[in-house]
Chains A and B, each alone.
Chain A
Amino acid sequence: MNGWSALDHFLRTDPRDVGCAEAMQMLHIYAELTAAGAPAEQGYPGIAAHLRACGPCGEDFDGLLAALHSEKD
């Protein structure tokens, strides 16, 4: 990603974005659906939009997903 696209990406906001509070409240449901291969993004587009834009919530989502996958190891 070059400077122009990085700045464009940073400034781009999605009106569906539900914010951190709601994403954190729903994260276990969204992660479990994702781990099961279900179309979580279609069911929860506002959560998906938020996780794409918010670094900390995206990191928590990745961590929760990794925890779920670790159960299978």
Chain B
Amino acid sequence: MGAADSGVGQTRAAATRLDAESAEWLQALAGSGSRQEAALARLHAMLVRIAHGEVRRRSQRLRITGPELDDLAYQAAADALVAITGKLGQFRGESRFTTWAYKFVIFEVSAKIGRHFWRHPSVPFDAEDWDRLPDRFGFDPTQGAEWRDLLTALHRAVDEQLTARQRQVFVAIVLNQVPLDTLVIELASNRNAIYKTLFDARRKLRAVLAADGYIGNDCVGSS
């Protein structure tokens, strides 16, 4: 994975001018007394609204409903408020203040959903039912002769070519469909580290399958 074209440098260089509304937010939240209290209350109400909208948006894919979903939204808003007020000095004006603040509550919703599934796993994280593999990629059972060799080769590559950690992450996320944010908690890791582990595993598996003639050896953006 590369970072040279991410644009961090260009945004930092441009991050000196605040729009009037963002400046007002910063002054009020960093201040004291009734003005600060009013700003905190206003920000909290905004975060609750965004959190509710986000859990509603995701609710159809979750096995969480009703009061539990509401609790999750309120907890996400409360924790986001703490995170935002603790990081006011890190806001550099690269976006509006409210957009920056919304990001925190979206991240909190994700983390809390991940924690929910960690407490209530549908399958053990380390279960290994390789018969699930065709279904995970949507292979047609009636055309098994066409893909059986490919998936056998994939299984062999997972066993023989991946590191123990890569294999553990592949099994949890691909075979057992453990959400990545849930695996982060189970492995006491972070999203970036788990993604990087899976990224390296994917690249390694593709190279092995390509070398054996099962798939092409191209990767996006490398030309």
Contacts and interface: CB of A to CB of B under 8 A. Distances in A.
Nearest to A3: B139
Interface string B187-223: 0001110011001001101100100000110111110
Chain B contact residues, majority secondary structure: helix
Nearest to A66: B57
Contacts of A56: 110, 179-181, 191
Contact of B180 (A2, A21, A55): A55
Contacts of B7: 26, 29, 43-44, 46-47
A44 B202 CA distance: 23
A46 B2 contact: yes
Contacts of A6: 137-138
Contacts of B73: none
26 contacts: A3-B137, A3-B138, A8-B216, A10-B174, A11-B203, A11-B205, A11-B206, A11-B215, A13-B203, A15-B2, A21-B191, A24-B107, A26-B8, A28-B95, A29-B7, A32-B95, A43-B7, A54-B180, A56-B180, A57-B195, A60-B103, A60-B106, A63-B110, A64-B102, A66-B54, A68-B99
Given A10-B174, A20-B191, A55-B180, 20 more contacts: A1-B138, A2-B139, A3-B137, A10-B202, A11-B206, A12-B206, A14-B219, A15-B221, A18-B5, A20-B192, A21-B190, A24-B107, A26-B7, A53-B199, A57-B195, A60-B107, A63-B106, A66-B57, A68-B99, A70-B50
Interface of B: 1-8, 10-11, 49-50, 53-54, 57-58, 94-96, 98-100, 102-103, 106-107, 109-110, 134, 137-140, 147, 150, 154, 174, 179-181, 190-192, 195-196, 199, 202-203, 205-206, 209, 215-216, 218-222
